[in-house]
Structure 1
Amino acid sequence: MTRHGRSAETIGRLLDTALELHPGDFTLRALTARSGVSMGSLYHHFGSLEGLAAALYSRCMAELLDTLVTAVEGAADARDGVRRAVLAYLGFAAGHPDKARFIHAAPYAVDLGPHAGRIAADKAERLERLNGWIRRHMEAGSVAPLPAAQVEMLLIGPVAEVTRRWLAGAPEIDLAEAACVLPERIWRSLSA
C-alpha cells in the first residue's frame, strides 16, 4: 500500500471510530485505543480532537447534502422536489441515525468554531446546487421569492427539529408519521 493509501485508511479508521464512539466516550484516549491509531497520527491528520470532529461533521453533512441534492435534482417539478427533499432528510435520519445524531449534536458538544471556515467550504458546492435548484423554481414562479435563509428555515427547519426530537427519543415523534404529514405542508409554505 502506498503512503497516500495508508494515510487515507488511517483517516477513515479514525473517522469511523469517532462515529462509533459518539456520543459516549468521545475522547482522544478512547479513539486511539479503539482505532489502534497512535495519538501522534491523530494529531498529524487532524491537529486535535476538535479537528477530527470537524472532519467527521463535514463527512456526515456531505452525505446528507448529497442525499438532498439527488432528491431535488431528480424531481419533476418544484412541489415534487420539496416533497422529495423532506422525505430524503427523514430517510437519511432513519437509515443513518449515528450520522444524523452527529450532525445535530456535534456543534453543541465540540468546539467546531475554529474549523467553521473549512466546514463552510466543504458544504459550499452542495449548498449551491440546492440553492440553485430552488432559485430556478423561484424565477419560474412556482416557489415564493424568499431569501435563502428563510427558504432553509421553511424547508429544513421542521424536518431537522423532528429529527432532533426523534434522535432524543421523544415518544410522540414518529418519522413515518412525519413523512406523511410534513412534505405537503412544507411545500405549501414555499409555494408561490
Structure 2
Amino acid sequence: MATADVLERNYPGRRAQLKRDILLGALACFNQHGLDLTTIEIIREHCDTSVGNIYHHFGSKDGLVAALFFSALEDQARLLATYLEKADTAQQGVAAIVGSYIDWVTDQPELARFQYQARAAIAKGPQADELAAKNRSRNKHIFSWWSAPARHAFIKHIPVDLLPSLLIGQAENYCRAWLSGRIVTSPKKYRAYLTQAAWLSLAIAPDLK
C-alpha cells in the first residue's frame, strides 16, 4: 500500500506501528468526511483504538492533520530531490520538477487529496511558521539548482516566491481537477504538455520587467 510506505519512511520501525495505523485511519476519515466533520471519535472507531492512544501520539485532531500533512510534504520533497539530482540542463530541470510533482500526486492520490484540503488549515494554524519554513527551504533548493551559470538564463529575473507557481501551477491545477473527479484522464498522460507549458513560462521570463 503506497500510503503506508510513505508513513513507514516518516515513522519507521515496529514501535511506530500504532502511530502509522492511526494516521492511515485518520487519512481515510478526513478524505471521506472532510476535515471539519471528522471527529476524534470517528477516527477512534475507524482505527479500533482508544482516544487515549490518539491523544498520546498526536495531542489533538490538529496534531493528526499536521502529522499527515508534513509527511506528505516531506515525501514530495524527497522525490523532487531524487529527480533533480539526475537533471543537468535547465529544460531537464523543468521536466524533473513538473514530473516529480505529477508522479507523486498520481502515485499518492489519497495523500494528495488530503494535502489540498488541509493546506489552508495548516497555513492558518499553529504550524503556519513550520509550513512557511518548509516552503522557503523547498524554494531555496530549487532556486539554488537554477543558479548554476549554465541554467539560470531563463529564470534569473524570476522572484523566488514566483518560481514554484510558474513551474507547477498548471500541473497543480490539472491534478486538482483529476483528484476531484472533474476529469478522468491521468495527469501522467499529459505530462509532456504540462512540462512544455512550464518551460515556455520560464523561457519568456527574461523579457519580464
Report the Cα offset of residue 124 of structure 1: 5.7
Report the Cα offset of residue 59 of structure 1: 0.2
Q: Which residue of 2 aligns with 1:107?
A: 119
Contact 1:165-1:173 within 8 A present in 2 as well: no
Report the Cα offset of residue 82 of structure 1: 0.6
Contact 2:122-2:128 within 8 A present in 1 as well: no
Q: 1:52 to 1:159 in 2, by over 3 A?
A: same
1:162 pairs with 2:170: no
1:136 pairs with 2:148: yes
Across the aligned residues of Structure 1 and Structure 2, the Cα RMSD in angstroms comes to 2.7
Q: Which residue of 2 aligns with 1:22?
A: 30
Query: How many residues end up aligned between the 2 structures?
Result: 189
Q: Which residue, 16, 20, 30 being the options, matches 1:12?
A: 20
Contact 1:79-1:187 within 8 A present in 2 as well: yes
In 2, distance between residues paired with 1:86 and 1:138? 20
Q: Which runs of 5+ in 2 are unaligned?
A: 1-11
Structure 1 range deviating more: 118-127 or 24-33: 118-127
Report the Cα offset of residue 109 of structure 1: 6.4
> Alignment identity in percent?
29
Q: Deviations over 1:67-99 (max 9, x none)?
A: 122111211211101112112211111111101
Report the Cα offset of residue 173 of structure 1: 5.7
In 1, distance between residues paired with 2:57 and 2:77? 24
In 1, distance between residues paired with 2:95 and 2:13? 40
Report the Cα offset of residue 119 of structure 1: 3.5
* 1:33-112 alignment runs, 5 A limit: 33-108=45-120
Report the Cα offset of residue 29 of structure 1: 1.2
Structure 1 range deviating more: 24-33 or 56-65: 24-33
In 2, distance between residues paired with 1:117 and 1:11? 24
1:16 counterpart letter in structure 2: L
> What TM-score does the superposition give when structure 2 sets the normalisation length?
0.77
1:31 counterpart letter in structure 2: I
> What TM-score does the superposition give when structure 1 sets the normalisation length?
0.83
